[in-house]
């Protein structure tokens, strides 16, 4: 590796390797000044990149389209009897048993038909679009999470680490930092790569180096490692303090994604306040031998098994470690696959596919409708996208990282639709709204399937309670009358409302309080 390429990979300063569960940390020393303008909370986002283009129709199978799929996927469609049913018309692949368990325990949110307008079917270009959060015809060099971190730390690079921000802002488990962490000017993350014989590489260079070009380059790398070590102590401290409590992880090197997530859990439990982790599972470019001739096993089934096992162990771990409420996980892949199988027991580049979010704070919903498969579908046809991937980004930034609208538009360039992927506890009303004259005491259940209830307190006043859609249009008035000072319970009837997110608004002479709720029939 040439020196200029090494600097490009490792950052503007240097790198320090650290061993964690067999993973070599290449820490970029990028000092940042503590002068953030956008508040930083303690929430953590873990992104799982399913590299290669995951086949959504072999991951989340629409049972109401099964007979049509049998005709166009005769060789690769899993037998219906093997599928893990989520409902009468939707099921997971049999390899996703841990995902099924997460769904049953209300820790999995599924967004169907995720994509974007004018889908690009190039791996590299579509990955750039997902990482940047830009329109498909716009070439944007920065990543959506890089812009978030740059907004929170506008003076990067400055005097970092410091007392308030001693830890790396973001970590990628991989050979280079993910482009999703690239800021407008600087890479806001650091990279992690697994390297054999790590202890030999870690030494400070007391051994004799070969008098070769490779020896010269290794000497250069060692000099950089010894010159800059800003993050060495905090990461080492996190490794020493961290722990893994789950017994569900497979043996090391048996599941490469599980190894990565195990390291992430240890770092978080060790006190590292890094906000974003990116991990990777490659191999989803399944043009051939996606499925074995039995229709059950094969490359894709193995990949889904890795994904399910790794996520299941990670979620079990962070719950036992007591950090689960701070951690949100999300999968993404550059595109789905074609509807019709090819002649090699595989599928070609497609468009829309499902996206999964997991954790104790997700809204345990299936957002979107089952994809429709026309009986006259051809090899060139693709699934239509229903949910723009940037709507998920928008919603995560809004509800998880608590960004205001102006900051959301800065990160994602423009406003996008809101999807209720994060559960908003109706009891967690802003304290400014909890006044002595009007307050929501409780709201349940959420989501509502048919009937719900709201418990509220009001002072002596005329009170109006209404249901409003996310565009601000009043759809239904539940009550509009005078109330004496007291606590009350009111039934909420969702008849006439489609599945989706709504606002329940209470207004009296002293002010307005509101909360979001979900209708899922």
Q: Mind spelling out the 3-state secondary structure of 116-162?
A: CCCCCCCHHHHHHHHHHCCCCCCCCCCCHHHHHHHHHCCCCCCCCCC
- Could you tell me if residue 424 is inside a domain? no
User: Which residue in this structure is represented by tokens 């290449």?
Assistant: 26
Asked if 444 and 408 sit in the same domain, the reply is no
pLDDT band at 428 (very low <50, low <70, confident <90, very high): very low
Q: Indicate whether 193 pLDDT > 90.
A: no
C-alpha pair distances (Å), 296 with each of 58, 327, 354: 10, 32, 20
- Could you tell me if residue 298 is inside a domain? yes
Nearest residue to 368 (alpha-carbon basis) of 385, 383, 393: 385
C-alpha pair distances (Å), 164 with each of 34, 35, 290, 371, 403: 7, 10, 48, 47, 20
Task: Compute the distance between CA of residue 76 and CA of residue 78 in angstroms, rounded to an integer.
Answer: 6
As a whole number, mean pLDDT of residues 502-509 equals 84
Quote the mean pLDDT of the chain. Answer: 83
Asked if 469 and 333 sit in the same domain, the reply is no
pLDDT band at 38 (very low <50, low <70, confident <90, very high): confident
Predicted pLDDT of residue 133: 97
- Could you tell me if residue 136 is inside a domain? yes
Sign of CA pseudo-dihedral 200, 204, 208, 210 = positive
- Could you tell me if residue 231 is inside a domain? yes
Predicted pLDDT of residue 446: 78
Q: Is the peptide bond before 445 cis (omega within 30 degrees of 0)?
A: yes
Residues contacting residue 386 through CB under 8 Å, at least 6 positions apart: 112, 113, 114, 352, 368, 369
Predicted pLDDT of residue 430: 41
Asked if 493 and 408 sit in the same domain, the reply is no
Asked if 161 and 256 sit in the same domain, the reply is yes
pLDDT > 90: percent of the chain: 54
Q: Indicate whether 473 pLDDT > 70.
A: yes
Asked if 451 and 403 sit in the same domain, the reply is no
Q: Indicate whether 12 pLDDT > 50.
A: no
Predicted pLDDT of residue 222: 52
Task: Compute the distance between CA of residue 425 and CA of residue 378 in angstroms, rounded to an integer.
Answer: 45
Asked if 42 and 7 sit in the same domain, the reply is yes
Asked if 360 and 442 sit in the same domain, the reply is no
* Pair 410, 388: CB distance under 8 Å: no
Q: Indicate whether 195 pLDDT > 90.
A: no
As a whole number, mean pLDDT of residues 193-217 equals 49
- Could you tell me if residue 117 is inside a domain? yes
Asked if 363 and 508 sit in the same domain, the reply is no
Predicted pLDDT of residue 73: 95
Predicted pLDDT of residue 386: 85
pLDDT band at 208 (very low <50, low <70, confident <90, very high): low
Q: Indicate whether 255 pLDDT > 90.
A: yes
> Domain holding 196: CATH number?
3.40.720
pLDDT band at 508 (very low <50, low <70, confident <90, very high): confident
Task: Compute the distance between CA of residue 74 and CA of residue 207 in angstroms, rounded to an integer.
Answer: 61
Tokens in use for 170? 């973001």
User: Which residue in this structure is represented by tokens 């716009």?
Assistant: 138
Predicted pLDDT of residue 102: 97
Burial 152-180 (b: 16+ CB within 10 A, else e): bbeebbeebbeeebbbbbbbbbbebbbbb
Q: Indicate whether 272 pLDDT > 60.
A: yes
The backbone torsions φ and ψ at residue 212, rounded to the nearest 5 degrees and listed phi first, read -135, 175
What does DSSP assign to residue 57? G
Predicted pLDDT of residue 264: 94
User: pTM score > 0.85 for this model?
Assistant: no
19 or 219, greater pLDDT: 219
* Pair 48, 279: CB distance under 8 Å: yes
The backbone torsions φ and ψ at residue 170, rounded to the nearest 5 degrees and listed phi first, read -155, 150
> Domain holding 482: CATH number?
2.60.40.1930
Residues contacting residue 326 through CB under 8 Å, at least 6 positions apart: 42, 43, 44, 268
Q: Of 347, 378, 412, at which residue does a domain stop?
A: 412
- Could you tell me if residue 457 is inside a domain? yes
pLDDT band at 431 (very low <50, low <70, confident <90, very high): very low
- Could you tell me if residue 420 is inside a domain? no
* Host domain of residue 451: 438-519
Residues contacting residue 184 through CB under 8 Å, at least 6 positions apart: 141, 142, 146, 147, 150
Asked if 139 and 230 sit in the same domain, the reply is yes
Task: Compute the distance between CA of residue 357 and CA of residue 326 in angstroms, rounded to an integer.
Answer: 14
Task: Compute the distance between CA of residue 95 and CA of residue 311 in angstroms, rounded to an integer.
Answer: 13
pLDDT band at 35 (very low <50, low <70, confident <90, very high): very low
* Pair 290, 275: CB distance under 8 Å: no
Predicted pLDDT of residue 9: 32
- Could you tell me if residue 461 is inside a domain? yes
Asked if 151 and 110 sit in the same domain, the reply is yes
Q: Which helix (H) or strand (E) holds 23?
A: strand 23-26
Asked if 146 and 16 sit in the same domain, the reply is yes
pLDDT > 70: percent of the chain: 82
Sign of CA pseudo-dihedral 181, 159, 405, 357 = positive
Task: Compute the distance between CA of residue 380 and CA of residue 150 in angstroms, rounded to an integer.
Answer: 41
Number of structural domains, the chain?
2
Asked if 374 and 454 sit in the same domain, the reply is no
pLDDT band at 37 (very low <50, low <70, confident <90, very high): low
Residues 387-427 have pLDDT tens digits of 899 999 999 999 999 999 999 999 999 988 888 899 865 44
Q: Indicate whether 196 pLDDT > 70.
A: no
Task: Compute the distance between CA of residue 298 and CA of residue 73 in angstroms, rounded to an integer.
Answer: 15
* Pair 500, 434: CB distance under 8 Å: no
Nearest residue to 285 (alpha-carbon basis) of 301, 299, 298: 299
Predicted pLDDT of residue 20: 56
pLDDT band at 346 (very low <50, low <70, confident <90, very high): very high
């Amino acid at each position: 590796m040439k020196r200029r390429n090494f600097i490009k990979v490792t950052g503007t300063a240097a790198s320090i390797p650290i061993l964690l569960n067999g993973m070599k940390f290449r820490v970029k020393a990028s000092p940042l000044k503590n002068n953030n303008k956008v508040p930083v909370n303690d929430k953590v986002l873990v992104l799982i990149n399913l590299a290669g283009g995951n086949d959504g129709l072999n991951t989340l199978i629409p049972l109401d389209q099964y007979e049509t799929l049998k005709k166009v996927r005769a060789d690769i469609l899993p037998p219906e009897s093997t599928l893990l049913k989520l409902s009468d018309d939707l099921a997971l692949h049999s390899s996703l048993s841990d995902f099924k368990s997460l769904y049953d325990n209300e820790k999995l949110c599924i967004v169907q038909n995720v994509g974007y307008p004018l889908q690009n079917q190039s791996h590299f270009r579509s990955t750039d679009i997902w990482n940047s959060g830009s329109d498909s015809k716009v070439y944007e060099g920065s990543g959506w999470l890089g812009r978030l971190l740059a907004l929170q730390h506008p003076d990067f690079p400055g005097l970092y680490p410091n007392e308030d921000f001693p830890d790396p802002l973001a970590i990628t488990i991989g050979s280079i930092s993910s482009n999703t962490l690239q800021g407008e000017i600087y890479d806001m993350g650091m990279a992690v790569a697994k390297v054999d014989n790590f202890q030999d590489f870690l030494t400070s260079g007391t051994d004799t180096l070969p008098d070769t070009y490779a020896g010269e380059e290794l000497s250069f790398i060692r000099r950089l490692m010894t010159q800059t070590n800003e993050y060495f102590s905090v990461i080492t401290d996190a490794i020493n303090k961290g722990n893994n409590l789950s017994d569900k992880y497979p043996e090391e090197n048996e599941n490469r994604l599980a190894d990565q997530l195990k390291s992430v859990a240890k770092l978080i439990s060790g006190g590292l306040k890094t906000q974003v982790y990116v991990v990777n599972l490659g191999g989803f470019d399944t043009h051939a031998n996606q499925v074995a001739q039995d229709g059950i096993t094969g490359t894709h089934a193995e990949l889904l098994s890795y994904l399910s096992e790794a996520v299941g162990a990670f979620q079990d771990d962070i719950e036992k470690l007591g950090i689960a409420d701070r951690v949100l996980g999300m999968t993404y892949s550059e595109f789905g696959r074609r509807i019709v199988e090819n002649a090699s027991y595989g599928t070609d580049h497609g468009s829309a596919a499902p996206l999964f979010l997991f954790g104790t704070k997700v809204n345990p919903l299936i957002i979107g409708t089952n994809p429709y498969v026309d009986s006259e579908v051809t090899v060139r046809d693709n699934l239509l996208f229903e949910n723009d991937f940037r709507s998920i980004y928008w919603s995560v930034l809004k509800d998880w990282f608590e960004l205001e609208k102006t900051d959301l538009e800065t990160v994602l360039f423009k406003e996008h639709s809101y999807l209720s992927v994060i559960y908003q506890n109706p009891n967690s009303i802003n304290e400014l709204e909890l006044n002595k004259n009007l307050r929501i005491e409780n709201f349940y259940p959420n989501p509502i399937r048919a009937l719900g209830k709201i418990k509220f307190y009001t002072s002596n006043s005329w009170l109006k309670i209404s249901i409003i859609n996310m565009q601000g249009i009043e759809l239904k008035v539940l009550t509009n009358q005078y109330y004496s000072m007291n606590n009350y319970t009111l039934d909420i009837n969702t008849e006439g409302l489609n599945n989706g997110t709504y606002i329940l608004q209470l207004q009296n002479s002293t002010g307005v309080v509101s909360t979001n709720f979900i209708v899922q029939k």
